[in-house]
Each structure stands twice: as C-alpha cells, then as structure tokens.
Structure 1
Amino acid sequence: MTTHVVVMGVSGSGKTTVAEGIAERTGWIFAEADKFHPQANIDKMASGTPLTDEDRWPWLRDLAAWMAEHAARGEDTVITCSALKRSYRDVLRADVAALGGGHRVVFAHLHGSAELIADRLKGRKGHFMPASLLQSQIDTLEELAPDEDGVVLDLSADPQQLIDEAVADVAPGR
C-alpha cells in the first residue's frame, strides 16, 4: 500500500512550502504540479486568463499518471496541485485507485481567507500566476466533501505547524 498526498489550495496558499516539508519529513518523492503544465497553460495564466476545464484535463491526467507510476513501484509521493474541483480530485484519484491494493490518495487542503492569500501573493516573485487570477480560483474552489480522504488546514498557522498537522494525518508515526 502506498500513500499519495496532494497538497491543494488556491494560488498563494503555501502548497509548495507545506508539500516540501511533508516530503522532507517522510522521505517521500516530491513533485511540483506547475512543472507538469504545458507551456500554453503557463502562457495563458501569465497573461491573466484563467484556465478552463479543457485546459486542465490533460495536466490532471499527467499528474495522476505520475502518482500511479510511483504507486506501482511501491513509492509514496507528495505533490502540489490546486485540485479546485471535486471532478479534478476524482481524476487525480482514478489511476492510483485502478491499481487496487489499498493505495491511498489523500488531500491536504490549505484553506484561508482571501485577504490573507492576496497579501501573500503581493509579495510573491518569480511565479507565472498573477494575483489577478486569485478570485477566479476562489470562485472555482469546491471544498473537500465528507467522503473524500483529506484534511483541511488553516493556512494562517505557521508553516511548520501545517506540516506537523498534515504529517500526523497522512503519515501517522513519522
């Protein structure tokens, strides 16, 4: 059985910081989902245009395949991904679930106020996602449903506390 943690949330919520911390603590393989985007998606977002579902499906399938490849080798993973909609999370779960054998895809949702996230985005440098797209992500976000494996973390907490909480939920004993 393997575990695959998807650290999710809107842009600027701290996904990379928390995911890297989980990977460091657990020794699991880490990937930044932004690295899987085709250049057309990056250019679209950089120009201030939100992605559509059609833009996202191939990207999500690539992320799911990456997790499934590692699961098939018995390797646990941690990946960042906005995973804004339930249907997106369903795609991320599908390939790993198809392997059978009790593999787990669990979501760590970094949740917080739009004001806090907007303040963080103002200070962020070197990322293609402009702060102007934050509201479109907030509008798209569907909270984790009770039947989804995951934990909601208050992103106003210290990053180390968020990492501790996530690890306690997804990798007890680490």
Structure 2
Amino acid sequence: MHFVFMGVAGSGKTTVAEYVAKRLGLPFAEADAFHPRANIEKMAAGVPLTDDDRWPWLRDLAAWISAHDALGESTVMACSALRREYRDVLREGAPGVCFLHMQGPAEVILERMAARADHFMPPALLESQLATLERLGPDEPGREFDVRSDVDTLTEQALEYVGECMRAADA
C-alpha cells in the first residue's frame, strides 16, 4: 500500500505524513524534494507551476512509488496532488495508492503559511492552489481530514485510516 497525503501548501500534509511514516516505520518521501531547481525558483518567485512543469515531477514521484512497490514496501508520501489527473499519474506507480486529503478553510491554511519561515512556497500562491484543487472523486481511494484538528488528532485519524486500508488489502 502507498499512502499519499495530499492538499494545498500549508495544510499540514507533510507534518502528519512524517508522523505516520515514523510510527509505522515506512519509507517517506516529501514530493517537494523531487522538484527541479527551476520549479522551486518559479514558485519562490510567486509564479504558479504549469502542467508542463509538473508532469516530469509527477512521473518521478510515481517511479519512487514503483521502486518501493517492487521491493514489497509500503510507503508514505506528502504531495499536493491537487488534480485528479496528477493523482492518476501517481497511481500509475503501483496498485494500492490511497490518498489522505488534508483540507480545511483557506483562512486556517493561510494563517499557517504566514507563520512558517522555512518554506519556499509564498502564501500568495495559496489562491492558485485552491483554484486548481479538485477534491477526491467518489471512485478514488481516499479520505478527507479536517485540518482544523490538532496534529495529534490528525495523526491518529490518519493511522486509523491507513490501518483500515492495509486490513482491506490483506483480506
């Protein structure tokens, strides 16, 4: 099983995903680390990425999932995965990709983004991310989590969902 924590910047996807990966002892990937320098510079300058910027990045992420799947390893990833077609690319990496959508009000997320100083994504890009975001479809394996909950609660909720997915895969 492969678990992708998705959502806009500032939604807490990386924080919760890291906690879950650590608790379960699973390999973890932060999708931002896979961006080429040009993408990071573009976003840092407040310029939204285009699909042409994203496709190679998404294919690299799917390859990471595929490599771990070939080793028989489950994984945890934090990735915006804002649109269904982006999630479709990630699902090409292996069967059993589930999404945990960290979602909540723009005001809450904007407040979090403004409070962090160590990230290249400026709060000004939140609006473009929200405009791009497509919520999980009813046929997509995944669940939404309300980011107004504290990190410990979100982590426990995510662990419960991951457990459900793993039990269902074993059945």
TM-score normalised to structure 2 length:
0.94
- Which residue does 1:101 correspond to in 2? none
AA partner of residue 115 (structure 1): E
Q: Any runs of at least 4 consecutive aligned residues in structure 1 with deviations exceeding 6 A, and if so which?
A: none
- Structure-to-structure mapping, 1:13-162, within 5 angstroms: 13-97=11-95, 104-162=96-154
AA partner of residue 27 (structure 2): I
Instruction: Give deviations 1:14-37, integer Å, cap 9, x for gaps.
Output: 011100111011111111110000
In the TM superposition, residue 95 of structure 1 has moved relative to its aligned partner by 2.2
In the TM superposition, residue 94 of structure 1 has moved relative to its aligned partner by 0.8
Structure 2 CA distance for aligned equivalents of residues 167 and 74 of structure 1 = 20
Give the percent of matched residue pairs that are identical in Structure 1 and Structure 2.
58
Structure 2 CA distance for aligned equivalents of residues 155 and 126 of structure 1 = 20
In structure 1, the gaps of 5 or more residues are: 98-103
Structure 2 CA distance for aligned equivalents of residues 25 and 58 of structure 1 = 31
Structure 2 CA distance for aligned equivalents of residues 24 and 48 of structure 1 = 32
In the TM superposition, residue 126 of structure 1 has moved relative to its aligned partner by 1.3
In the TM superposition, residue 163 of structure 1 has moved relative to its aligned partner by 1.1
Structure 1 CA distance for aligned equivalents of residues 93 and 144 of structure 2 = 23
In the TM superposition, residue 96 of structure 1 has moved relative to its aligned partner by 0.7
Q: Provide the alpha-carbon RMSD of the alignment.
A: 1.2
- Structure-to-structure mapping, 1:162-173, within 5 angstroms: 162-172=154-164
SS in 1 for 2:8: coil
TM-score normalised to structure 1 length:
0.93
